């Protein structure tokens, strides 16, 4: 899968998450949207929901099982959960087997 495919999956998962949130809490589907930290759009439960949805969609679309939130992700110098771009890049690396 290419990065553009993963980005579509991530944005679809965000859209589904947004459907469960009040309008004031919607996460914009833009690469630079901050997920966590200062200015972050998600709380911990929202992040878990998003990650689980992305994992399931990758499995359904590509038949590839990945675990996004693991020790490797949390030990990285830059968190893959900062923005939609960093999440997309990390998932792409996992799917392509280049996650270091």
Asked if pLDDT for residue 22 goes beyond 80, the answer is yes
Asked if pLDDT for residue 14 goes beyond 90, the answer is yes
- What is the pLDDT, as a whole number, of residue 56? 98
Give the CATH number, domain containing residue 13. 1.10.1200
- What is the pLDDT, as a whole number, of residue 37? 87
- What is the pLDDT, as a whole number, of residue 23? 96
- What is the pLDDT, as a whole number, of residue 58? 98
- What is the pLDDT, as a whole number, of residue 21? 95
pLDDT in tens, 35-89: 998 999 999 999 999 999 999 999 999 999 999 999 998 899 989 999 999 999 9
Asked if pLDDT for residue 100 goes beyond 80, the answer is no
Q: How many structural domains comprise the chain?
A: 1
Give one DSSP letter per residue of 8-62, joined into a string. Answer: HHHHHHHHHHHTTS-GGGPPP-STT-B-SSTT-S--HHHHHHHHHHHHHHHHHHH
Structure tokens at 77: 């110098």
Domain enclosing residue 58, as ranges:
3-22+31-96
**Band of the pLDDT at 94, cuts 50, 70, 90?**
very high
């Amino acid at each position: 899968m290419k990065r553009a495919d993963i980005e579509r999956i991530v944005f679809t998962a965000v859209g589904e998450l947004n459907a469960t949130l009040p309008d004031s809490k919607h996460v914009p589907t833009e690469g630079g949207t901050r997920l966590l930290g200062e200015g972050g759009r998600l709380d911990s439960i929202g992040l878990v929901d998003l990650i689980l949805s992305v994992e399931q969609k990758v499995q359904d679309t590509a038949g590839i099982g990945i675990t996004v939130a693991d020790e490797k992700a949390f030990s990285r110098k830059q968190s893959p959960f900062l923005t939609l771009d960093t999440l997309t890049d990390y998932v792409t690396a996992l799917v392509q087997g280049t996650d270091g």
